[in-house]
Structure 1
Amino acid sequence: MTLPDFSQPLYFLLATLVIFAVVIGRYFLIAGLFFGIFYRWKPQRYAARKINERAHKPGQFRREVYWSTITAGLFAVAGAALLVLWQQGRTRVYLDVNEYPLWWLPLSLVIAMLAHETYYYWLHRWMHHPRVFRIVHKVHHDSNITSPWTAFSFHPLEGVLQALFLPALLLVLPMHLYVVLTQLTIMTFSSVINHLDIEVYPKGFARHPLGRWLIGATHHSLHHKQFKYNYGLYFTFWDKWKGTESPLYEGLFDEKTGK
């Protein structure tokens, strides 16, 4: 089947709308699932795992969905631009699973996530510069107590900075289309879990040889409260190496998980 030329304005718009539907649909599905379970159903076993005791601000969820919808639109434009670049042969995205060895599928995912972590950590620290923060990052931190809907709640300038990473990476890193989609899904799940404000990981996870390198709700909630710690996205290694992990993290995790 011959695809239309997505560089043409009409087809570019149609591609953007389709990608927007996918991005916003995934956001509502995953954030809505966690919101329904932990904020509406409220399992008793997680009652003590609520990190902040104060209620969310009036109208916060509506505001977060508003900003997240704009972010989804920006991600959709970036996705449509990536589609044009792919169609023109300028990206390393491939469709034939046999084009590279099978072991490259998981390895490319790991490389992409480590690269994303590095980009985001240093971008995040830059966004906390006082002059930059007020313009770019304050919208996200208006959610002092986070929720599942906070996951994509960014000012448009921050949304653009977030959206640029993956297209730029795919200009140089070969990735199968399904691996790209897997990373995007992991990103959404991770962001929702990190902003849940309810710790879902098990007791002892923060000290586990594997768990200590992964970010969860307790870890990221301290960033929204303290501002100068815990800048990571998926992993804690940059925070540990650069001395920016909150000294309160392990103690608060133990407190919330009942060690």
Structure 2
Amino acid sequence: MLDAFPPLANLVHKGPVVFAFDFGRYLVAAALVAAIVWGLRRTSLRTRKIQAREATMADRRREFAQSVQTVAVYTVVSAFIIWGVDAGVLHRFEGSYGWVGDLALLAAIIVAHDAYFYWVHRAMHHPKLFRIFHRAHHRSITPTPWAAYSFAIPEAFVMIAFVPIWLFFVPTPGWVMLSWILFQILRNAMGHAGFELHPRWWLSTPWTRWINTTTHHDLHHNGGFNKNYGLYFTWWDKMMGTEHPRYAERFAEVVAGDRAVGAKPADSGATAVAA
């Protein structure tokens, strides 16, 4: 009976392994970043905590529970992705384009995912979509690494949809996909760390200032509800005029140890979503 509907068969036979892998990478990334922040907060760098407010244990429990829910959604969608690959609807590529080609493709998928994330993230902030798709994530006004996958079910489907879209167009070696999904969850956990992990010179050089910092996304949760939509890079926010006007100033304050300005939400929208 299961063989008559391959995605269901994949979910039954391969689902537990997929769930364990996806949950495992979330757990390791979030726990690793949380442990680093815990350690740094016991050093002279403790002033790099971005907000004066402390996330509560209830916040962390909610973020963790919603992230487990997201992993369950990803597992269901993965059953269809596996079917799509087996059926030839999505590309299977077991080989390699060589180190240069593979690394170029890894860079391309990161850039493409950043563009996808910016536009779907911005769309989910539309008043007609926000409550259904994105409000659950914005309950984290003071985010922690455990918020990396803290999505409502509709948003989780939107986020995982990038994978079949990419594989429909681009034959991608397995190690490239694996490297990207590990990079993605680590960067996501860093973005929600609530603690600036980047060096103070990060925005002072053209080599790194286009790469998002923790402060960049923290402002989106607390102080810039309709700003800073990007995931990895600041390109789209700069081009579309959605970068927070005080981003560079706020980053400088955080790395200098002045978090007072970030003690309260500067954007009323950040408070409203928690209500």
Which piece of structure 1 moves more, 63-72 or 113-122? 113-122
1:231 matched to which residue of 2?
A: 229
Distance 1:148 1:178, change over 3 A: same
**1:8, 1:228 → 2: CA distance?**
38
Which piece of structure 1 moves more, 101-110 or 162-171? 101-110
2:91 is equivalent to residue 92 of structure 1 = yes
2:16 matched to which residue of 1?
A: 17
Shift of 1:131: 2.1
Q: Which runs of 5+ in 1 are unaligned?
A: none
TM-score normalized by the length of structure 1: 0.92
Shift of 1:152: 0.3
**1:45, 1:20 → 2: CA distance?**
39
2:171 is equivalent to residue 182 of structure 1 = no
2:126 is equivalent to residue 129 of structure 1 = yes
TM-score normalized by the length of structure 2: 0.87
Distance 1:8 1:31, change over 3 A: closer
Shift of 1:234: 0.9
Provide the alpha-carbon RMSD of the alignment. Answer: 1.9
Letter paired with 2:199: P
2:78 matched to which residue of 1?
A: 79
Distance 1:54 1:86, change over 3 A: same
Are the aligned partners of 1:229 and 1:245 in contact in 2 as well (CA < 8 Å)?
A: yes
Distance 1:133 1:15, change over 3 A: same
| SS of equivalent to 2:6 | coil
**1:11, 1:142 → 2: CA distance?**
34
Distance 1:132 1:8, change over 3 A: closer
Shift of 1:8: 6.3
1:39 matched to which residue of 2?
A: 38
Are the aligned partners of 1:6 and 1:84 in contact in 2 as well (CA < 8 Å)?
A: no
**2:196, 2:176 → 1: CA distance?**
28
Shift of 1:42: 3.0
Letter paired with 1:115: A
Which piece of structure 1 moves more, 85-94 or 6-15? 6-15
1:110 matched to which residue of 2?
A: 107
Shift of 1:58: 4.6
Q: Among residues 241, 256, 259, which one is paired with 1:258 in the alignment? A: 256
1:160 matched to which residue of 2?
A: 157
**2:29, 2:254 → 1: CA distance?**
23
**2:186, 2:44 → 1: CA distance?**
21
**2:15, 2:45 → 1: CA distance?**
39
**1:241, 1:117 → 2: CA distance?**
14
Shift of 1:101: 4.2
Shift of 1:207: 2.6
Distance 1:9 1:136, change over 3 A: closer
**2:54, 2:199 → 1: CA distance?**
24
Are the aligned partners of 1:219 and 1:249 in contact in 2 as well (CA < 8 Å)?
A: yes
Distance 1:128 1:11, change over 3 A: closer
Post-superposition Cα deviations, 1:29-65, rounded to whole Å, max 9, x if no partner, equal: 1101121231367341330100001111450111111
Which piece of structure 1 moves more, 203-212 or 167-176? 203-212
Shift of 1:107: 1.3
Shift of 1:17: 1.6
**2:170, 2:106 → 1: CA distance?**
10
Q: Which runs of 5+ in 2 are unaligned?
A: 258-275
Post-superposition Cα deviations, 1:48-104, rounded to whole Å, max 9, x if no partner, equal: 10000111145011111110001011112222221111122222231122xx34422
Distance 1:101 1:45, change over 3 A: same
Post-superposition Cα deviations, 1:99-135, rounded to whole Å, max 9, x if no partner, equal: x344220111121111111111111111111121111
Aligned length: 254
Percent identical: 33
Are the aligned partners of 2:10 and 2:82 in contact in 1 as well (CA < 8 Å)?
A: no
**1:41, 1:234 → 2: CA distance?**
23
